[in-house]
A and B are shown apart, each in its own frame.
Chain A
Amino acid sequence: MKRTVDVSIPVGPVHPCWKEPTRVKCETRGEFVLSAEVELGYMKKGIERIMRGRPWQEVMFLAERVCGICSVIHNMVFIEALEKMSSIEVPERAALLRVIVNELDRMQSHILANFSYCYTIEHETLGMYLLDSREKVLDELERITGARITCAYMVPGGVRFNLRDEDALHLRASMDTLEKEITRYMGMFEHGPLIALRSREIGILTRDAAREACACGPTARASGLPESDRRLKHPTYQKLGFTPVSREEGDNFARIMVRFQEMLQSISLILRCLDTLPVGPIRGGGIPGAGEIAYSGEAPRGELSYFIKTDAAGRVLEIAIQTPSIMNIEACCHYMLTGVASMADVPSTFVSADPCIACTER
């Protein structure tokens, strides 16, 4: 089909709104975007190749360094895959502590994503408020695990550190403050008329399109696909009675609101974990053996899958990581960006899908 295209406008790879380098090439007529294409490959690390031939205690740290924002879930999925492969049991207390740390990590990742979006639509005040809340979450992570981002908290058969009573009290107190703050910021976002002008009805991803593009995570849940949440299949989350949030609109506004709602949901999950935290051991022991497994978990951005093959001594022979962002980037450039009325909405639509380029290129 012949189309009249005025100009192909590149956005990136260096752009003030983007956390990581990538280029979006938009074919436009006037300012109307006819189609878009994403160019990746500015920061390939080859981390899967480095992982090969190494034991779990080395691969665990490499897996964390795949992504700087959602490092805990990489650790968790890798370790849980090894546990499932070698049938290692996890004590109940350790399983709940894992959920606490994972949900804290999800909160800080969602806050950063929403900050990024607010910054892109030029609402820096709300963005800075969100970053202030993120510090509280990171402080809690540091209190429990000893580090803010690369926590290295989970090991086969349990977790590394116990949650102390004084830390549990501190965590409860800051969850209460965070709940108040995030509810307030959510209200600001929901009712702000200028925000609505930049967000509502922009970058629409319909339910069928989301399913076709295999979108996952908050991007899919904003288009009315709550069943895409992998936490529904996780035994600890099932025990906690987890139900995913979802919205029907499928626009930029819905994607950010889903993240806000998930933050509140994370807070309630953490409080539920703290209420039901039993006293007991935090490590069950167990050495990963030979096997082959494909396992996935829910990262802040969607489904994260690990394929692992190990030898009898527990060394990783083959490893393949599939990260959620690649599906969301495809959904973004083929469905959300097509039909965007103004070039100014291109960065904000792209950022609303929360693309993590470090994950995507590994």
Chain B
Amino acid sequence: MTRKVRRVFILISAAALAWVFFLAYRPLPPLGFVHSQYGDLVNAITVPERHITDAVSAVNFDVRAFDTLGEEFILFTSVMGVLVLMRRQSDEPAGHHEDKAPGRTVPPASDAVRVTALLLVAPAMLFGLYIVVHGQVSPGGGFQGGVILASAPVLVYLCSEYAEFRRVLSMRLAEVSEAAGAATYILMGLVSLGLGGMFLENLLPLGRSGTLTSGGMVPFIDVGVGLEVGGGLSLALLAYLEELVEEKEQ
């Protein structure tokens, strides 16, 4: 296929795609006028029956908590996949870099990057914790908060040396955090079973709407998910960085 034929082909495809998008866009209802039965139902029950003021969290961690368990384990499995792919094999020589481009140096981080990263470490940590524990009250929760928490060690890496980064974030800490987070979710399900309900049925006292202790099991699940996501991302990060830095040091 010559270049010209390819270009004609891509133009036709692009035009067709644009037309389909246009057809899909036209009948969209105006902003804020969408009413679905499921949405109305969820809005009707979240505050009166579940004492959760964030409808999305109510769906994710209460009404359909079991689905979210599966979602969490997608991440868990992906992180395991990364670790398995990145592991050092026994027959792999340490520091093989037959291909290292000669004279390629890593530029040091600029002062501006260092200062900005240093200033952001503590706020990132605090904001991550805030997002994790306020999942049942306002937008956010374990997934989002966990990613923000995992960004704090990255900022430490940006503003200092790799050694400092490893002092803040050890493999063990990330592993334990991920495993404990994943276990928390399942344990919450078993707690419901133990209390005589169904798996992950919300049986703890629901508390007063709009407060940190509202939502029964939801805040516990959120903390578990936060640990799992934060730990999982950190593990993937460590797996990547470890090999890179090992080779750079030799």
- Indicate whether A and B interact: no
Chain A contact residues, CB within 8 Å of chain B: none
